[in-house]
Amino acid sequence: MITSAYIHIPFCHQICHYCDFTKFFYNPELADQYLEALENEIVTAVGKQKKPMKTIFVGGGTPTALSYEQLERLLKMIAESFDVDAPLEYTFEANPGEFDEKKLALLKEYGVNRISFGVQVFDDELLEKLGRNHRVQDVYDSLRLFEKQQFDNVSVDLMYGLPGQTYDQFKKTIDEALQLGLPHYSSYSLQIEPKTVFYLRHKKGKLHKPVEEEEANMYELLMSEMNKSGVYQYEISNFAKPGYESKHNLTYWNNDYYYGFGAGAHGYLPGERTVNIKPLNQYTKKAKETGVPQLYVEPVHHKEEMEEQMFLGLRKVKGVSLDEFQRRFGRSIHSLYSGELDYLKRKNWITEAEDHIALTPQGRLFGNEVFAQFLIEDEKLQ
């Protein structure tokens, strides 16, 4: 049963230098056309039936970049297809300075109960280098609006490993973020992705990240400071007070099914992963005409499903359940990975206890190398 949905709104008033998500400069006419196409895609998939859901996540882009009228149209179309009155985690992404009290009141009216807040750093100079259009003061002004509208489930996004960022600067960002006393924090290292401003600068030798050791030190600092503040790590890049873990993101890491709606959105349905068309005009045209604007559908076979259960599950601090793996696939983890598990235990990168296999704190620093061990050789399935 599919009980989660990701909905992509690709419009921004400014394009950040590092962002490789599907995004376009906001244009009112294009946004109207997009919302019409998006509604047809959602209705084609689920109808207007008030489908029960556990999580809805509206991301971007910047969903709150829409006008008030467009935002209301979006919220109405979601409410017509999904039961937003039932208990669920309903998240909207928002950037500092990209909304006002009237828009927040509208989100509240339609059942939105969680905000994912794109702060990135508490440093005006670094914000400018990132191409962000907000400054630190905008963060505090926005948080006052959240409080006024009684949004108490707010997650802040932070970044490290940025060009010109020092260990001490990142510590200042962590300290300032934790002083807010929020229930959830996500923090990611900068990845230089193709087709971004940073990628072009990097190729020309004009952009340099901190060295790998310095970035690892920043990550260890992040884990330590969050834990000391009672905000506990539950996934490689995510930290929460007890009870505030992101249910939507846990859908991904538990390898559960979810819809993906909108330009460039990814979905995971029984037996297949879907990827939508990215270019705005092509997505809009196909979604309006057919309601199925997919670029391609990739079959997910038994082997890939087991691999993904390991890759994704090991991102969680709790790790992968041996019993759950056995129930889902009819095979034990040890029957597939005995040699790999022995090797990773000798490296002190994984640990096994209480029916779970999990990364050690040291293993979290070498996640990609660990995950590579869980690719399954075909002869193991014979």
Helices (H) and strands (E) in the chain, counts: 15, 17
Is residue 131 over pLDDT 70?
Answer: yes
Give the side-chain half-sphere CA count within 13 A for 212: 2
- Residues 192-206 pLDDT 10s: 778 777 768 867 887
Q: Which of 21-25, 138-142, 328-332, 362-366 has the lowest mean pLDDT?
A: 21-25
Is residue 341 over pLDDT 70?
Answer: yes
User: What's residue 191's pLDDT?
Assistant: 84
Mean pLDDT for 292-296 is 97
Helix (H) or strand (E) holding 295: strand 294-299
pTM assigned to the model: 0.94
Residue in 322, 211, 284, 228 with CA at minimum distance from that of residue 37: 284
DSSP string covering 149-164 = TT---EEEEEEES-TT
Q: Using CA atoms of 132, 118, 121, 133 in order, give the dihedral in degrees to the nearest 10.
A: 20
* Cα 156 to Cα 222: distance, rounded to the nearest angstrom: 14
The angle at the Cα of 365, spanning 359 to 370, to the nearest 5 degrees, equals: 55
Residue in 359, 59, 80, 124 with CA at minimum distance from that of residue 234: 359
Residue with tokens 């009672």: 230
| Structural domains of the chain, with CATH | 4-253 (3.80.30.20), 318-381 (1.10.10)
Coil/strand/helix, residue 365: coil
* Cα 145 to Cα 291: distance, rounded to the nearest angstrom: 37
* Cα 67 to Cα 265: distance, rounded to the nearest angstrom: 22
Residue in 31, 17, 3, 45 with CA at minimum distance from that of residue 263: 31
End-to-end CA distance of the chain: 30
Give the side-chain half-sphere CA count within 13 A for 10: 27
- Over pLDDT 90: what percentage of the chain? 83
Handedness of CA 253, 56, 113, 136 (dihedral sign): positive
Confidence of residue 382 (pLDDT cuts 50, 70, 90): low
Sequence-distant (≥ 6) Cβ neighbours of residue 258 within 8 angstroms: 2, 4, 5, 6, 55, 251, 252, 267, 268
Coil/strand/helix, residue 274: strand
Q: What is the mean pLDDT of the chain?
A: 94
- Residues 343-369 pLDDT 10s: 999 999 999 998 999 999 999 989 889
- 288, with CB counted inside 10 A (0-12, 13-18, 19+), is middle
User: What's residue 49's pLDDT?
Assistant: 87
- Over pLDDT 70: what percentage of the chain? 98
22 and 278 in contact (C-beta within 8 Å)? yes
DSSP string covering 82-145 = B-TTSS-EEEEEE-TTS--HHHHHHHHHTT--EEEEEEE-S-HHHHHHTT-S--HHHHHHHHHH
Highest mean pLDDT pick, 27-31, 98-102, 194-198: 27-31
